[in-house]
Amino acid sequence: MVKQTFGAAASVLLLSAVTAWAAVVPFTDGDMEAPGREAWTTYGTPVSIEKVERPHSGRWALQVKTDNKDTMGGGFEGVSRYLGELNVGDRLRVSFWLRPLAGHA
């Protein structure tokens, strides 16, 4: 069992893809192209989580914003999702872009 967790460690995180390499079957909304963000579970208290039209590939990205210095960097705010059962040796490709806001780098 694998749980993928993405925290907004430096204020803004743009997720663009989560794909199972071995299975060659993308996870539900792994490329952020499905409407809404129901496939992703929020944890902590991020300022906002939304689909935005500023991806680095495809049409959409998932943007996570946080501004709480007490939780940033510790993985206490962000999004996660259950990826199902994986076996030893399975390969995953995860891509994301991280853009620190001024004063948080």
Nearest Cα residue to 13 out of 67, 61, 74: 61
pTM flag (> 0.75): no
How confident is the model over 60-85, as pLDDT tens digits?
777 777 776 666 555 677 787 777 78
Q: How far apart, in Å, do the first and last CA atoms of the chain sit?
A: 33
What is the rounded distance in angstroms from the CA atom of residue 12 to the CA atom of residue 3? 21
From the list 80, 79, 49, 51, the residue with the least C-alpha distance to 65 is: 49
The Cα angle at residue 31 between residues 11 and 33, in degrees rounded to 5: 100
